[in-house]
Structure 1
Amino acid sequence: MARLGIDKDFLVDYGKLERSVQTRVAEVFGKFEEATHTGLHLEKLNNPKDDRFRTIRIDKFWRGVVLAPETGDTFTLLKVLPHDDAYAWAGRRKASVNALTGCIEIRDSIAIDATLPELARMADRAPRLLFEDVADADLTRLGVDEQTLAFARALTDVIQLEAARAFLPQSQWDALYGLAAGLTPEEVWAELGAAPEREPYDTEDIAAAVERSPGRVVLVDGPDELMEVFRNPFALWKIYLHPAQEQVVRAAFSGSARVTGGPGTGKTVVALHRAHHLAGLAGGPVLVTTFTSTLSASLEAGLRLLAGSDKIRDGIDARHVDQLSHQVFTERHGRPAILRDKEEKEIWRKIVKRLELSFTETFLAEEWRHVVLAQQVTDAAGYLAAKRAGRGRRLGARQKAQLWQAVWEFQEELKRRKVWTHETVCVEATRLLEERADRPYRHVVVDEAQDLHPVQWRLLRAAVAEGPDDVFVAGDTHQRIYSSRVSLRDVGIKVAGRSSRLTINYRTTAEILAWSLGMLRGEPIDDMDGGLDTVAGYRSQVHGRPPELRGFGSQRGELEALAEKVRQWLDAGVAPGEIGIAARSNMLADTAIAVLERAGVRAGSLAKVQEADEVVRAGTMHRMKGLEFRCVAVIGVGEHQLPSSSAVTPVEEDELTNAQDLQRERCLLFVACTRAREQLNVSWHGAPSPFLSGLVR
């Protein structure tokens, strides 16, 4: 029975086809099994570079390009193009099997041959070749075949390699690019996810290579699966794995493990695949969790795309940490009454007044959350002995006694009112789990780990027994947008020796990534395990326009320019849902929506619109976390808006906390800017934010 594979690059192309062509593609390939058995539609090319390429008729104007195996019945749809373009595209290309990974690869063989003579002439005159220090044996070991090797030996500049990305085999180009970026052959080997020991692959068996290529081809069984792919083309494309990611997904760890990486490096994709992999091992229920309901819903949607309706999905529980703590709490005590933020501030305010303290209610609340709760302090002696690293303001014994009295009165007031905070619910849920002989989960997978509070980490630690593959952590402390800081070791999660780092950005262009990283260079950012994290080595292989930076004399002028820019994007063919607007405050985001609507652009709030709604989406920088758009406008990046004064502790109150707050605001801007895939606009009115110092020409 014929089986159809869909090349991941076609999934991106499919979303750009006219609706009528999309419908016709679905009709043709929905009957693909019948067509291949009867010999209909599949046509050979005249004088192709690879006689395994076929075309298939979509309609009078459009043709599909299909890779047909010499043996077996697995066919792969590569392209759908206008008639002449389809024949030209197929006639230039060859399929091959990568000797290192065993996966399918496609190359523009004519372009390689046509470019090589001029490169060779330039190489003869050049003082140095790009890969002159890399031995042929190392290149061959990394999967570089004879044709690509000859091409590589003629390169003199990385710019030539970047220009060749369109026609070289992707996995071989990845290997060369890694070497050009300064990685050793061993580091490139690891990034390509090659097995340390294996039998040689049969480089003539295309059908087997397709089966081994989940990072490039999605295989479908029947028209129902095919239609599911076509309903979610770009979303499905986003859950493919690079070999380096797949290596982390399928690893067996003796305990907890962690993956880190910058924005767009695929940490969430790895987390989802990891959960699916662990559930498929029949190792008990798996919890996939994060810190907000928005991100939890995104994880749930990703799991639906990845797992579909398979039985493995039944073994995965996707929910955010507060949902878990409230469930455990409610099962024993009933639903808790949660103290509102306004009420909490009023309690602290009254305590400050009654005890005549020199501390602000904000300082007291932060001390309670980030020292008392974070370190499980239960009495005055424990508070006197508690570490206050990161709190900044030094306290004498008398001041600590005053603070503990304030904390004690606050906690007593919670008891008197019979109310809880989300943190105290979490503490109680942890106690209940620790009392149990069994634990609810066999494995826990945590995404966006950098923003979880220590009490949440202890809950997750209590939800799974210590053992192989118990907790898997994915995060990036450069993207921390809340004030929680933690040492994983202190909450019982030991990842030493079991950490991996992803460095290739699959979302953002090199120009946007480099500019955004400039905001963080020199910032001492912790790694959640006693050391410092780094942005060194992060890179993107996709190039595009540099970010556009513009200042205005007034907010009105800035927002009118925003409406004009959005209209330009729409006129260029960008879908409304592929445009995102990020602001520091809800008020500015709502104002931008109103301006866009008056300009005739359909727009809506990220907090309200559904993913399927075809509108331009605007929201706070916090709401942008975990999302991505083709085009992003970050607005209101002025000196009086970012950093937000309400989010920064005054330096005279606590110097270190002030520095941490400023760093968090800087990271928030970094997160907003790296949501952009192709185009980024950053604007302000008045003077620019100090975070843009050195980045504005």
Structure 2
Amino acid sequence: MPLLILNKVKDGLDPSMKKKAYAFLEKLQEDDSLPGLHIEPIKGSVDPRVRTGRVDDNYRCVLFKIAGKDEPAYVVHGVWPHDKANKIAETVRLSLNPINGMAEVEQAVDTIAAGSPEPENAPAVTASAPVESQVETTPEVAAEVQAPAETSPATKAPTWPADVTATSLHDRLGIDEGLAADALRAPTEEDLLGIIARARVEWQGEALLELATGTPVAEVRTSYGLDEKVDVGDGTEDEQLLASLRHPAAQSSFHWIEDNDELRRIIDAGDLVAWRLFLHPEQQRYVDGNYKGPFRLSGGAGTGKTVVALHRTRRLFTEDPESRILLTTFTRNLADDLARGLRQLDETITLQTHLDGPGAQVKGVDQVVRAVLQAAGPSIAEASASVLGDGRSSVTGATGGDAWREAIDDADPDLPAELTTPAFFQAEYAMVVLPRRITTQTAYIRVRRAGRGVALDRAKRIEVWKVIERYRALGRASDTTDFVEKAALAAAWLELNDRHYFDHVLVDEAQDLNPSQLLFLRALVAVGPNDLFICEDSHQRIYGQKVVLSHVGIQVRGRSRRLTLNYRTTAQNLDWAMHILSGGDFTDLEGENEEHSYHSARSGPVPQLHPAASMSDELDGAAKLVKSWLHADGDDVPATAPDGIAILVRDKYRRQTVVSGLADRGVQVRSVDQENAKPGMPLVMTMHRAKGLEFTHVLLFGVHEGSVPSALKDYKSSEEDFADAMLRERSLLYVAATRARDVLAVSWNGERSSLLD
């Protein structure tokens, strides 16, 4: 039976061909000599290994045939219409890189020269095109539009490591010398993106992009797995090629098909399959790594942190199906997305629903907290005494949303007006009182409140404690606790009873967790090898306050790494989103300044800005824009899948306005709240709800002053609290903007948001 190896290539399978492609490859895997397959060489091809196969009358599969010792292997490059497939087959080559010994699929030079068609794995880009905001304006709002930032890719020069030359990049990394020379001559990042988009081998373009941001050559060698020797043996050239395809670094471009079931799953998944099959060598390193204690993986939106967490979960389960693994995150919606992703990755993984059972459990952190509290039962009283000071045994009821306001009114504290807000007391309680398990006024008066931003003398602390006592009294009277109290209680119960329900805990979006939730996760798993694996991006912190891991007993010093290559968003969209962040100072979960050096090898149109004079005008523009995305404008502009379009708004009230307004203008859209996003229509959701999702086209609607950022009067208790709230607003807009894979548009009416400045 022939072996099948899937090669990563963009747009390599027409969706209408899924069933026929599966039937063709299934037959090929059984017997490649079947006459109906028409496996034939191509005259004049640059690679004698290339073949085409008949999928149906109009479509052909492009493959490379490799002669193995016992059976042939076929590297499946893609399925295209007949003429296009033949053209591709004439120009592609599968070979061993002469410098690093890695297998590569490269496009022939004549097909990527200036003025010729782009290679199939490269997005369209014009290197000489200036980057400008594409703005539709009316005379009334034209003055609102500003020129693009001077640090856009169109004007910013690459920052190469010292003393690199085209020859040294070829000799040390195996990058094509001509490509390296062109890249080193590029005057701006925009010109460099044009060169990278036409790279004959994908990884070489990505490596050049990393080098162009100042990454040392040695670090790039390690990142791409080039330090590992490729042992290809001493067999025939084809046998050596097959051996190189087994190398771990080859997993970024090639995937060995195990059986027909996996083949069907891959084809059914369509273009979403890439994240399941092809990992960058650096991502693979964190999937496979074994760590002596907690490990922190940081990275910007779209850099693949979640992908690493999913693959690592599968790896831990595969190595020991009896182990107890928790994959968790801040919200239930994100946890549901993770569970679906894990199922897509491997249907054989046992998804556990009960504490202490073998297998992988995927839940939101508050769901796990509730499960622990239910397991604790009446014995939670001891933990309640240590956390709340009252020893109650009923803690699972939910405190009402107005409880802090009621406690403030009842206690009537002698405090400045800016301190008598629910926002101040919620933060003080979550960041100081609960994680330190303060139960008395004396303890609160003595506690250090580092990082809270507002100083409280003894008299003020006594007044603050009066409100906290009243809040706890309201909870006792109603047998309720809030989410943060529940996490603190569950953490204390686990510690008091030395209970560890999991062998491995993996956390996604950890920057949004509060101290009590992190204390809870630390208590869920015993300290030891591969105990905690924490993924975070402090630029995406849209809930809660800043937290430092060491302050909650999680020590990651020396066990932290960062991903920098964005796989989702185009360079133009990423640059726009990063400028939103540039107005704030961000720190990571180790308390260090967060870097902003993320980059993307994908290129596309610059973000569109759409000012409007009124809400009605903004809705008119949104309807026109969505219609243009939904309907093809000639052969060169394909229609967008409806569920690939998202309109993101600040809150649920604006969401309903947009849904109704677009319906009145002949555009049917689907409102998404807590439920899963369903296909078939463009989607309208809040920016918070969109976290963790991605779309081909995104419109950020209503980005005007007073909406983004929202009114922050409740955070005026101190300059630091207000500044931190503003960071969350910047992060929210950054999160929303980076949901766009290809096309990003931004609209507002009236005064545009100050964050856009």
TM-score normalised by length of structure 1: 0.90
Cα offset, 1:515, TM superposition: 1.2
Q: Which residue does 2:543 correspond to in 1?
A: 482
Change (3 A) 1:248 1:165: same
Cα offset, 1:670, TM superposition: 0.9
Give 1:113-512 correspondences, 5 Å limit.
133-134=163-164, 138-140=168-170, 142-144=172-174, 148-153=176-181, 157-158=185-186, 159=191, 162-195=194-227, 199=231, 205-212=240-247, 213-239=250-276, 240-282=278-320, 284-310=323-349, 315-333=359-377, 336-353=395-412, 359-362=419-422, 363-512=424-573
- Find the aligned partners of 2:656 and 2:243 in 1 and give their Cα distance: 53
Cα offset, 1:234, TM superposition: 2.7
CA contact (8 A) 1:348 1:364 kept: no
Change (3 A) 1:141 1:473: farther
- Find the aligned partners of 1:129 and 1:689 in 2 and give their Cα distance: 32
String of CA shifts for 1:660-688, please: whole Å, max 9, x gaps: 11111111111101111111011100010
Q: Which residue does 1:541 correspond to in 2?
A: 601
Change (3 A) 1:34 1:200: closer
Would you say 1:569 and 2:615 are equivalent positions? no
- Find the aligned partners of 2:102 and 2:544 in 1 and give their Cα distance: 44
Q: Which residue does 2:128 correspond to in 1?
A: none
String of CA shifts for 1:572-601, please: whole Å, max 9, x gaps: 311011111111111111211222333333
- Find the aligned partners of 1:183 and 1:129 in 2 and give their Cα distance: 9
Q: Which residue does 1:553 correspond to in 2?
A: 613
Unpaired stretches in structure 2, ≥5 consecutive residues: 116-157, 353-357, 379-393, 633-638
String of CA shifts for 1:430-486, please: whole Å, max 9, x gaps: 122113345111111110010001000011000111111211110110110012321
Cα offset, 1:99, TM superposition: 6.1
String of CA shifts for 1:127-180, please: whole Å, max 9, x gaps: x999993357743454416xx224434655233673353341122233333333
- Find the aligned partners of 1:682 and 1:463 in 2 and give their Cα distance: 43
Change (3 A) 1:330 1:99: farther
Amino acid paired to 2:375: E
Q: Which residue does 1:677 correspond to in 2?
A: 741
CA contact (8 A) 1:640 1:689 kept: yes
String of CA shifts for 1:85-112, please: whole Å, max 9, x gaps: 2111111111123467765321112338
Amino acid paired to 2:32: T
> Match of 2:397, SS?
coil
- Deviating more after overlay: 599-608 vs 159-168: 159-168
Unpaired stretches in structure 1, ≥5 consecutive residues: 117-127
- Find the aligned partners of 1:186 and 1:192 in 2 and give their Cα distance: 10
Change (3 A) 1:54 1:251: same
- Find the aligned partners of 1:394 and 1:620 in 2 and give their Cα distance: 35
Q: Which residue does 1:638 correspond to in 2?
A: 704
- Deviating more after overlay: 337-346 vs 23-32: 337-346
Q: Which residue does 2:129 correspond to in 1?
A: none
Would you say 1:105 and 2:104 are equivalent positions? yes
- Find the aligned partners of 2:376 and 2:162 in 1 and give their Cα distance: 68
CA contact (8 A) 1:129 1:155 kept: no
Would you say 1:8 and 2:8 are equivalent positions? yes
- Deviating more after overlay: 315-324 vs 680-689: 315-324
Amino acid paired to 2:483: H
Q: Which residue does 2:688 correspond to in 1?
A: 622
CA contact (8 A) 1:634 1:672 kept: yes
CA contact (8 A) 1:482 1:664 kept: yes
CA contact (8 A) 1:454 1:485 kept: no
Cα offset, 1:245, TM superposition: 1.1
Q: Which residue does 2:65 correspond to in 1?
A: 68
- Deviating more after overlay: 169-178 vs 562-571: 169-178
Amino acid paired to 2:210: G
- Deviating more after overlay: 66-75 vs 400-409: 66-75
Aligned mate of 1:662, from 713, 719, 726: 726
Change (3 A) 1:522 1:142: farther
Amino acid paired to 2:215: L
CA contact (8 A) 2:160 2:213 kept: no
Amino acid paired to 2:436: Q
Q: Which residue does 1:692 correspond to in 2?
A: 756
Cα offset, 1:311, TM superposition: 6.2
> Match of 1:483, SS?
coil
Give 1:19-98 correspondences, 5 Å limit.
19=16, 21-38=17-34, 40-71=37-68, 72-98=71-97
> Match of 1:581, SS?
strand
- Find the aligned partners of 1:242 and 1:557 in 2 and give their Cα distance: 45
Change (3 A) 1:68 1:390: same
CA contact (8 A) 1:593 1:618 kept: yes
Cα offset, 1:385, TM superposition: 2.5
- Once superposed, what is the RMSD of the aligned Cα atoms? 2.8
- Find the aligned partners of 1:347 and 1:101 in 2 and give their Cα distance: 68
Q: Quote the sequence identity (%).
A: 31
- Find the aligned partners of 1:494 and 1:258 in 2 and give their Cα distance: 10
Q: Which residue does 1:123 correspond to in 2?
A: none
CA contact (8 A) 1:448 1:474 kept: yes
